[in-house]
Amino acid sequence: MKKTSTRLADGRELIYYDQRDDAVRDAVDKRPLEPTVTTSEVRRDPLLGDSIAVASHRQGRTYHPPADECPLCPSQGDRLSEIPDSSYDVAVFENRFPSLAGDSGRCEVVCFTSDHQASFADLTEEQARLVLDAWTDRTSELSHLPSVEQVFCFENRGAEIGVTLGHPHGQIYAYPFTTPRTALMLRSVAAHKEATGGENLFDAVLARELAGERVVLEGEHWVAFVPYAAHWPYEVHLYPKKRVPDLLGLDEAARTEFPKVYLELLRRFDRIFGEGEPATPYIAAWHQAPFGALEEFEGVNRDDFGLHLELFTIRRTSGKLKFLAGSESGMNVFINDVPPESAARRLREVASS
C-alpha cells in the first residue's frame, strides 16, 4: 500500500491509498473554495449522561446530486470534485460538512472506489483489503489527536438509511469521548469479569455463538453470527476469533482472510429478500476500544474489549422497513419481528455461488 497525503483548496486533508507503489498523486484542487467554517459543539445530557453534537452548518450539505455532479467521483476535465485526480483506488478526506471538528473531534469520508455504480460488495478482495488497511491507518493516525478518545469506522448504504450521496463510501468519526454504546459494553465487560472471577465477556459470547445455531459463516480467523438478542430483523456480528481491541491488533492472517469473509457476508445481505429486490440498505459499524482512560470502568483495560463489526438492515421484509417507533425511540427497547434463529437460517440459505 502507498499512502499520499495532500491538501484540498480549502485546507482540508486528502489522503490517497494506492495498491501500486509507483502511483503518483500530484493533482491540484483547482476549485475556488473558501476555508471551511464549522459550528460543531458537543453537549452533555445531564439526565442520560450521554453526549450529542450540535452542527447547524450541516443543513447546507450536498443532498442527492445527479450522478454527473457527484463530489466523490474523480475530477474529469472541467468537472471538479473532492478528488482532484482523474482516478483513485481508495481516497480519504476531511468532511466538508463535519458533525465533529476541532476540539470536538474530526469526521472523514472514505471513498471505497472511483466507480460510482459499484458497492462495497462489488469490490475485489484486493480492493477490500486496501479499504481495511485504510481504516487501520486512519484509526492509528486519529487516535493520536489530542481531542480524540474513540475512532468509529462505518458505512451507511441506501437512501432508506439516510445516505445523501450515492457513491460507494463510508465515514470515520473521531469522537472526543467514549460513545454511550461502547460505555454500555465496557460496563457489561466489567460486571462479567467481576462475577466470573476474570472471564472475558466477548470470549464468552463468541464461544456461545460458535456452539449454537446462529452462525452464518465461518472462516479460519473470522466468524459471523446473528446475536442471541438481535435488535434488528437481519443483524450479523463479525468477530475475529482471536480477540483484539481494535483494527491495529489484527494479525496478517486475519487481515488476509477478512476480505473474503466480509464480501461474502455483504453479498448474502443483497440476496436476503430475493432476486429483483433493490439493494439491501444497511449500516456496517466497526466497534473498537476507546483510546482514552478507562478508570470509570473498574477493572477493565483496552485489551478486555473485543473488536467486532456489526452489520444490520432496517428492511424487515420485501418492501417493508423497520421503523423506530414508540418503544424503540422513546424507551430504547427494541422489538424484533424476525427471530434471530430464522434470520441466521435465511442468511445461510442465500449463500452466493
Say what the pLDDT of residue 9 is: 96
Q: What is the pLDDT of residue 76?
A: 94
Q: What stretches of the chain adopt beta strand conformation (E)? A: 2-7, 13-18, 41-44, 51-54, 90-94, 106-111, 150-157, 169-175, 215-218, 222-225, 234-240, 282-287, 308-313, 315-317, 320-321
* 91-142 confidence digits (pLDDT tens): 999 999 999 998 999 999 999 999 999 999 999 999 999 999 999 999 999 9
205's grid cell: 459470547
pLDDT, the chain, mean: 94
Residue 353: pLDDT over 60 = no
**What integer pLDDT is reported at residue 352 of this predicted model?**
58
Indicate if 287 belongs to the active site.
no
- Angle, helices 125-143/252-269, rounded to nearest 10 degrees: 120
129-156 confidence digits (pLDDT tens): 999 999 999 999 999 999 999 999 999 9
305-310: average pLDDT: 98
- Look up residue 331 and give its DSSP letter: H
Give burial (CB, 10 Å; 0-12/13-18/19+) of 82: buried
Residue 171's alpha-carbon distances to 283, 325, 352, in angstroms, are 11, 26, 27
* Cell digits of residue 299: 477493572
Report pTM. Answer: 0.95
Contact status, residue 8 vs residue 35, Cβ threshold 8 Å = no
The three grid cell numbers given for residue 292, joined into one nine-digit string: 482514552
* pLDDT value of residue 92: 98
Structure confidence at residue 68 (pLDDT): 86
What is the per-residue pLDDT for 196? 97
| Span 332-346, pLDDT tens digits | 999 999 999 999 999
C-alpha to C-alpha distance for 246 and 288, rounded to whole angstroms:
5
Which of 169, 221, 237, 308 is catalytic? The answer is 169
Alpha-carbon distance of 198 to 202, in angstroms, equals 12
Average pLDDT (189-203) is: 97
State the greatest distance between any 2 C-alpha atoms of the chain, in Å, as a whole number. 65
